[in-house]
Structure 1
Amino acid sequence: MFSIALDPVLEEQVKEAAKEKGMCVSEYVCRLIQEKMEDEYDLRVYEEAKRQYEADPVTYTAKELGL
């Protein structure tokens, strides 16, 4: 369990956003955290793939791979 302190303006914004989505604040914040973590993971995977491609920019078609 976590407890966070928000400034009053941000707290009200979070409450309103959760209400608009039909969620309680806890569920809304948990989903935001999960989505952010997934986005960060996707970015890391992309950056690694980009580094690998830049190191060896050879590409193959699906046919060449037998797919």
Structure 2
Amino acid sequence: MAISVRLKADDEMFLRDYAKSKNMSLSELLRSSAIERAEDELDRKIYDEAMADYESDPTTYSTDEVKKRLGL
């Protein structure tokens, strides 16, 4: 699937130069940057949810306690 992105000339030149310095095409740079950004935002959302769960119940268990509870 192809996607078109409109850039100002100076932004395009900057990104092309940066991509070249990383031995990447502009397309590869934009694709990897977009995916990395989305993954980072998802990771942050998951972290925030986990911290909210922990703050509502800060009970923790050691590895030995988990093994015992699971019968391992």
| TM-score computed with the length of structure 2 as normaliser | 0.84
Amino acid at match of 2:52: R
Which consecutive unaligned segments of at least 5 residues does structure 1 have?
A: none
Alignment correspondent of 2:6: 5
What RMSD over aligned residues (CA atoms) do the two structures have, in Å?
A: 1.3
Larger RCO (CA within 8 A; separation ≥ 6): 1
Which consecutive unaligned segments of at least 5 residues does structure 2 have?
A: none
Larger radius of gyration: 2
Q: Secondary structure at the match of 1:3?
A: coil
| TM-score computed with the length of structure 1 as normaliser | 0.89
Alignment correspondent of 2:44: 43
How far is 1:17 from its partner? 1.0
Q: Which moved more, 1:41-50 or 1:2-11?
A: 2-11
How far is 1:57 from its partner? 0.9
Task: Show structure 1 runs of 4+ deviating over 2 A.
Answer: none
How far is 1:5 from its partner? 1.3
